[in-house]
Structure 1
């Protein structure tokens, strides 16, 4: 498909085959750069068009708005090939997951874009929905971590995998996004150990 081809879909929505992966990736990269440099309030369609090399009218036609750009960038991020760790133990897997959070959000330059995504979710309904969908899909990918733990006898049958993943990352996100405190490997390991112990105690079984 050529960039000049007309689109009949609603602006800001994704039509399968409606644009090349290369174009979409270029726009995504421009969105990430813009969020890192200017935050959500300072991101504009004009900025994305200039830095992606995609004509402004094409960006407006296919993404519709800054909200559409941010939402699609998050959707594209969720289409990666990331898989959860398999270290052979529940605590090892949780430790690796927690350390991935610290690697992403613990370094200020690296954290600029993902932090801006979170900020955008507070200012845009579409961004909030996209962020919710991104993490819901990530939690679903992490289900094997708990499934394997149950099979090894490290977790009770019925343990809520999504709740476990949320619990191990929650202290890290709280410090990064709320109290603006530094995070690092020691905190990640501490969180993993605490959640693994809580899992063994049945803390993440369904209520009732």
Structure 2
């Protein structure tokens, strides 16, 4: 979003302003990992980023706006989707990317903090939902290409297939505490591929019986 009417902190200027934004978002991520959303404080973030408090209040205004902008930045910087030539190969690449992100010492804790924040702050929740919409849309063509190749039935819901890959990995991160290893990533991709091939995501018309 750019220009008149843009949300605070969501414009994409260059030069010094871009450097200030990068420093502020880095500081916001650091503070989230260390303290969690409830303890975020604009003055502390300004100190960490070596930026005047008035700059933060003028451009973002609230900690929720900072977290929302951080999610926008993370979505924009995420790696592009794979194109291995097969649905299983593409979904394995997706699963391994999700697994690598969630097990990263900083990124994993950052996602936990933002998911926690989203449970109690509507703006953060909306930003988190938008983040996943962007990432799912990035990977959905993997499934659409698989339909074109005849790997999965016509009418397969590409977004549901991509969600099915990452869901068990987030469950391990946030709920069960089971190992989030490469084997788990491969199983998630294999399960989603098998279900898609069986027509589970294409409704009754595309289901193999």
TM-score, normalised to structure 1's length? 0.88
The C-alpha deviation readout for 1:36-58, integer Å capped at 9, x for no partner, is 11111122111210111211111
Name the CA shift for 1:91/1:10 in 2 (closer, same or farther; >3 Å). Answer: closer
Q: Do residues 92 (structure 1) and 83 (structure 2) align?
A: no
* Gapped regions of structure 2 (runs ≥ 5): none
Distance 1:109 1:59 in 2: 23
- Corresponding residue number in structure 2 for 1:22: 19
Range that drifts further, 53-62 or 81-90: 81-90
Deviation of 1:182 (Å): 2.4
Structure ranking higher in helix proportion? 2
* Gapped regions of structure 1 (runs ≥ 5): 1-7
- Corresponding residue number in structure 2 for 1:199: 196
- Corresponding residue number in structure 2 for 1:154: 151
SS of 1:154's partner is: coil
- Please give the residue correspondences for 1:1-208 in structure 2 after superposition, counting only pairs within 5 Å: 12=8, 14-15=10-11, 17=13, 20-80=17-77, 82-206=79-203
Name the CA shift for 1:194/1:10 in 2 (closer, same or farther; >3 Å). Answer: closer
Distance 1:70 1:34 in 2: 11
Deviation of 1:71 (Å): 0.6
Distance 2:52 2:204 in 1: 53
The C-alpha deviation readout for 1:161-201, integer Å capped at 9, x for no partner, is 11001101111101111223321100110111111011011
Say whether the 8 Å CA contact 1:106–1:182 is kept in structure 2.
Answer: no
Name the CA shift for 1:97/1:136 in 2 (closer, same or farther; >3 Å). Answer: same
Name the CA shift for 1:58/1:96 in 2 (closer, same or farther; >3 Å). Answer: same
Distance 1:34 1:122 in 2: 18
Deviation of 1:132 (Å): 0.3
TM-score, normalised to structure 2's length? 0.88
Name the CA shift for 1:23/1:108 in 2 (closer, same or farther; >3 Å). Answer: closer
Alpha-carbon RMSD: 2.1
Distance 1:175 1:64 in 2: 35
Distance 2:20 2:57 in 1: 14
